[in-house]
């Protein structure tokens, strides 16, 4: 055989080899393939399925219905021993993509989902198959799960919710579900910030749970989210505090002005109307009451007491000077109104009783508001 014959034969082999295309490859690997059969040649070995998650956004947090929604993409990989080929025989094709409905797919579901529990993986997607049998799919969806949400510390609350994935019908002896990277730390560019929540931390746990005397593999993504409290502080908390502090002015305004009752009632009505609007922005929950709601209730109580004490003070001020003063009120006025160098024979008047009442209320208000505000922040950050 001369050199030309060898060259001709080599070219012929290469041309014949190049004639194989992806159509031939599809026909070859799917000939006799059964998508309902678990892709393992040794029935005693489990199919290792690796599940990862890419979080796009925190879509919605519903305190009333105790649910949370995540927009995310799953990355699911496993080895299908019946979908392998030699790239050298098929034009060096090392991977192909096929509709997911043509191959076996692990029946992975999301536990505690609000939607259909058997539809975690949509069958209308596509799968990438590597020549060594490695299969990868990327189902994406809006995952809504039940989550116990506590609004007690609103608007400084933190919530912990989880996405718990497992196989719907196969125990860990058949499908071993796991996540190979449990140290994922979310970066700022990993998710799209939306609404009033941001992702604080993510933990991933590979767990095995016993059900019906068999082990079932779980991959649990634990999300710790923090409410963005600045909006509520600026638009709710600070106005409530400022309006409430105006009650102090009711006990500084002179009784002769004739405006004290009008001022105290105006502040009470303004606070009530404003707080009604604020309450409409609070999360709805019948399980517990937010500390902020209790704070608002005490502010209304303090404003109501200011109206009452203002009227009592004015009653003392305009009382007939000839009417006798009871001993308790006389002693009260002497303690709060008279100076230390005042003689014992100094006469106590109803005006002094009124002034003593104002001083006591002013002192109480000055103490009341800082204590109430401090209690709010202590309870929120405890």
The predicted-structure confidence for 198-216, as pLDDT tens digits, reads as follows 888 889 999 888 887 889 9
Average pLDDT, integer, range 280-302:
79
Task: Please say if the pLDDT value at position 338 is more than 70.
Answer: no
Average pLDDT, integer, range 18-45:
80
More confident residue, 196 or 182: 196
50 and 139 both lie in a single domain: yes
196 CB neighbour count, 10 Å cutoff: 16
pLDDT tier at 357, thresholds 50, 70, 90? confident
Digit-coded pLDDT (tens) for 115-129: 666 566 766 788 999
Which of 53-67, 69-83, 283-297 comes out lowest in average pLDDT? 283-297
355 inside domain = yes
198 inside domain = yes
Which of 21-25, 202-206, 310-314 comes out lowest in average pLDDT? 21-25
216 inside domain = yes
130 and 238 both lie in a single domain: no
Write down the pLDDT at residue 183: 59
222 and 235 both lie in a single domain: no
Which of 56-70, 186-200, 220-234, 318-332 comes out lowest in average pLDDT? 186-200
3 inside domain = no
pLDDT tier at 10, thresholds 50, 70, 90? very low
186 and 240 both lie in a single domain: no
214 and 356 both lie in a single domain: no
Which of 42-56, 91-105, 213-227, 246-260 comes out lowest in average pLDDT? 246-260
Average pLDDT, rounded, for the chain? 81
Task: Please say if the pLDDT value at position 75 is more than 60.
Answer: yes
Write down the pLDDT at residue 348: 77
Which of 16-20, 183-187, 221-225, 319-323 comes out lowest in average pLDDT? 16-20
**What Rg value do the Cα atoms of the chain yield, rounded?**
37
221 and 325 both lie in a single domain: no
Dihedral sign for Cα 187, 189, 192, 193, please.
Answer: positive
Task: Please say if the pLDDT value at position 5 is more than 80.
Answer: no
281 and 357 both lie in a single domain: yes
77 and 201 both lie in a single domain: yes
pLDDT tier at 79, thresholds 50, 70, 90? very high
Write down the pLDDT at residue 134: 94
Which of 150-164, 170-184, 272-286, 303-317 comes out lowest in average pLDDT? 272-286
Q: Which SS3 state, helix, strand or coil, does residue 92 take?
A: coil
CATH number at 244 reads 1.20.58.390
pTM for the whole thing? 0.77
Average pLDDT, integer, range 39-55:
88
More confident residue, 252 or 3: 252
114 and 213 both lie in a single domain: yes
1 inside domain = no
CATH number at 50 reads 2.70.170.10
Task: Indicate the residue among 204, 226, 248 that finishes a domain.
Answer: 226
2 inside domain = no
Task: Indicate the residue among 179, 208, 226 that finishes a domain.
Answer: 226
The rounded percent of the chain whose pLDDT value lies above 70 is 85
Size (the chain), residues: 382
Range of the domain at 185: 8-226
Average pLDDT, integer, range 77-103:
88
Write down the pLDDT at residue 3: 47
Task: Indicate the residue among 192, 226, 260 that finishes a domain.
Answer: 226
219 and 238 both lie in a single domain: no
Is there a contact between 110 and 141 (Cβ–Cβ < 8 Å)? Answer: no
Write down the pLDDT at residue 366: 85
Contacts 24+ apart (CB under 8 A), 289-296: 289/152, 290/151, 290/152, 290/153, 290/154, 291/152, 291/153, 291/154, 291/376, 291/379, 291/380, 292/154, 292/155, 292/232, 292/236, 292/237, 292/376, 292/380, 293/154, 295/240, 295/372, 295/375, 295/376, 296/240
How many structural domains compose the chain?
2
Task: Please say if the pLDDT value at position 12 is more than 50.
Answer: no
249 and 178 both lie in a single domain: no
Write down the pLDDT at residue 78: 93
Which of 218-232, 280-294, 307-321 comes out lowest in average pLDDT? 280-294
Across the strands, what pairs with 74? Answer: 53
149 and 174 both lie in a single domain: yes
DSSP letter for each residue of 186-228: --TTTSB-BTTEEEEEEEEEEEEEEETTEEEEEEEEEEEEEE-
CA neighbor of 49 nearest in space, from 72, 73, 79: 79
Task: Please say if the pLDDT value at position 347 is more than 50.
Answer: yes
320 inside domain = yes
């Amino acid at each position: 055989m001369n050199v030309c014959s060898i060259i001709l034969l080599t070219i012929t082999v290469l041309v014949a080899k190049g004639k194989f295309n992806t159509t031939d490859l599809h026909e070859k690997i799917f000939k006799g393939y059964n998508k309902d059969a678990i892709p393992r040649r040794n029935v005693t070995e489990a199919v290792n399925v690796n599940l990862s998650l890419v979080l796009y956004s925190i879509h919605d947090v519903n305190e009333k219905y105790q649910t949370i929604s995540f927009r995310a993409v799953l990355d699911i990989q496993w080895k299908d021993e019946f979908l392998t080929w030699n790239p050298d025989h098929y034009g060096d094709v090392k991977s192909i993509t096929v509709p997911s409905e043509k191959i076996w797919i692990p029946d992975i579901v999301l536990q505690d989902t609000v939607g259909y529990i058997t539809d975690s993986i949509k069958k209308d997607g596509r799968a990438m198959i590597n020549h060594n049998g490695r299969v990868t799919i990327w189902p994406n969806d809006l995952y809504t799960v039940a989550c116990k949400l506590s609004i007690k510390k609103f608007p400084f609350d933190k919530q912990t919710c989880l996405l718990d994935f497992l196989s719907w019908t196969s125990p860990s002896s058949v499908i071993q579900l796991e996540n190979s990277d449990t140290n994922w730390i979310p970066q700022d560019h990993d998710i799209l910030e939306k609404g009033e929540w941001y992702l604080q931390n993510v933990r991933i746990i590979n767990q095995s749970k016993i059900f019906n005397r068999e082990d079932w593999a779980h991959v649990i993504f634990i999300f710790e989210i923090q409410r963005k409290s600045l909006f509520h502080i600026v638009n709710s908390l600070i106005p409530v505090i400022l309006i409430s502090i105006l009650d102090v002015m009711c006990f500084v305004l002179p009784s002769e002005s004739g405006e004290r009752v009008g001022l105290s009632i105006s502040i009470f009505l303004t606070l009530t109307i404003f707080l009604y609007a604020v309450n409409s922005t609070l999360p709805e929950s019948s399980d517990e009451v937010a500390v902020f709601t209790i704070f608002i209730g005490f502010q209304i109580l303090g404003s109501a007491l200011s109206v009452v004490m203002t009227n009592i003070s004015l009653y003392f001020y305009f009382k007939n000077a000839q009417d006798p003063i009871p001993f308790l009120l006389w002693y009260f006025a002497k303690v709060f109104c008279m100076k230390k160098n005042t003689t014992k024979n100094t006469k106590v008047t109803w005006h002094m009783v009124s002034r003593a009442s104002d001083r006591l209320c002013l002192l109480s208000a000055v103490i009341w508001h800082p204590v109430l505000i401090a209690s709010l922040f202590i309870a929120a950050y405890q």
